[in-house]
Amino acid sequence: MDSRNPVAVLVVDDEEPIRNALKRFLTGEQFTVHTAGSGPEALGVLRQHDVALMLSDIRMPGMSGVDLVPQALEVAPDLAIVMLTAVNDATTAALCMQRGAMDYLTKPLELADLGRAVQQALRRRASQVESRQLDVHLKEEFADRAADWERERAQVHRVTVATLEALVNAMEARDPYLRGHSARVADLAATIAAHLGLSDDEVEQVRLSGRLHDIGKIGTREGVMNKQGPLTPDEYDHVKQHVIIGSQILAPLEHLGPVLGAVRSHHERWDGAGYPDGLRGAEIPITARIIGAAEVYDALSTTRPYQNKLSTDQAVRRMRDLVETVLDPKVFAALAEVVTRRRSLVFLEGGEGP
Ligand SMILES: [Fe+2]
């Protein structure tokens, strides 16, 4: 980064301690940091300063983050926007993405995740700005068209994904035990992927796969999905269909690429006894192995109809018994480190969050 011309970031949150904590972190990352305590204040900052990225809370008194997004883009069309949201508010976050935000992160927030998401959003913004500058220089009709097409494609991609995520969140919201499940799995899986040394792009694929992995449950019958007791073999077969239905829903969206494999294979097992294809070991896409492990952890560490939630240590201990049957040993080791580390970290937790 050019120290003579540091990148400017705007933090918008109505809670001062969160603003200050984010400012401290981002200043340490060599950004110039502006802060605003409300939407209107944020718009004022954007009018006065050349800001590259805005990090904004969703729930604020007066103008909410959802309303701020389009107005901010009107003032600063090249602005990269990342939303911060409580886990049970993921539907609103998806709405912000439909309105032009690039990404969202759920609170409590791990600072390493935040740093990565900020860099990723800035990179995406740089390539958007570049493609527009290319437009200016190459006046030929062809270049204009290609850039338009590229922008449109990116827009369609974002809206499609945001709509699908909204669908998943709406489905989970109906079931108190599932609420926020996919958003939590996505964040944990992305942290594991980063810990395993996957590239930034792959980490983002893992996060997206996590958010969409259970989309096929839209096809699961109500009575089976909410059933309190054990499932009959027929019902279990029916539940298993969700991985196939999910990959069928996503199949026409070619731009989702590896996400499809992750959705289809997240219930495969390391020993080959999983479904739907009985893949074994490294045949299972790494994204699917990570999502599968994160999903098991999430099920153990949240309250379910048939179990009280386990502590971090209890959940890790329970999962250790599944290594080499259900779980990839390498993925399990990364998960154990990540969740143990998470526990000892200071999180930024919003006042409204659970
Ligand atoms: Fe699943």
Average pLDDT of the segment spanning 138-143? 66
Q: How far is the CA of 248 from the centre of ligand 1 (A)?
A: 14
Two structure tokens written together for 109 = 């927030």
The reported pLDDT for the residue numbered 3 is: 46
Q: Which residues surround ligand 1, an ion (CB under 5 A)?
A: 214
| 268 Cα–ligand 1 center, Å | 10
Q: Residue 284 Cα, ligand 1 centroid: separation in angstroms?
A: 15
DSSP codes, 138-195: --SHHHHHHHHHHHHHHHHHHHHHHHHHHHHHHHHHTSTTTTTHHHHHHHHHHHHHHH
In the predicted structure, residue 4 carries a pLDDT above the cut 70: no
Distance 224 CA to ligand 1 centre (A): 14
Taking the centre of ligand 1 as the mean of its atom positions, its distance from the CA of residue 286, in whole angstroms, is 16
The predicted pLDDT at position 32 comes to 95
Q: How far is CA 111 from CA 117, 181, 187, in A?
A: 10, 21, 12
Q: How confident is the model at residue 344 (pLDDT cuts 50, 70, 90)?
A: low
21 Cα–ligand 1 center, Å? 36
The number of beta carbons lying within 10 Å of the beta carbon of residue 294 is 28
Please, which pLDDT band fits residue 111 given cuts at 50, 70 and 90?
confident
Distance between CA atoms of residues 275 and 266, nearest Å: 8
Confidence band (pLDDT; 50, 70, 90) for 350?
Answer: very low
Residue 307 has pLDDT above 80, yes or no: no
Question: What's the gap in Å between 58 CA and the centre of ligand 1?
Answer: 28
Rounded to whole angstroms, the Cα distance separating 92 from 85 reads 8
Q: How far apart are CA 208 and CA 260, in angstroms?
A: 10
Span 88-113, average pLDDT: 80
Which pair of structure tokens corresponds to residue 115? 């740093």
Q: Residue 138 — pLDDT band, cuts 50, 70, 90? A: low
Choose, from 23, 107, 139, 217, the residue flagged as catalytic. 217
Does 104 score more than 90 pLDDT? Answer: no
Measured in angstroms, how far is the CA atom of residue 273 from the centroid of ligand 1? 15
pLDDT tens sequence across 174-206: 777 778 889 899 999 999 999 999 998 899 999
> What are the tens digits of pLDDT across the range 214-253?
999 888 877 777 777 788 888 888 889 999 999 888 888 8
- Nearest Cα to Cα of residue 77 among 150, 121, 129, 117: 129
Under the banding of pLDDT at 50, 70 and 90, the label for residue 124 is confident
What is the arithmetic mean of pLDDT over 55-69? 91
For β-strands 8-12 and 32-36, DSSP reports them as parallel
Query: Is 223 exposed, middle or buried (CB count within 10 Å of its CB: 0-12, 13-18, 19+)?
Result: exposed
Q: Is 107 marked active-site?
A: no
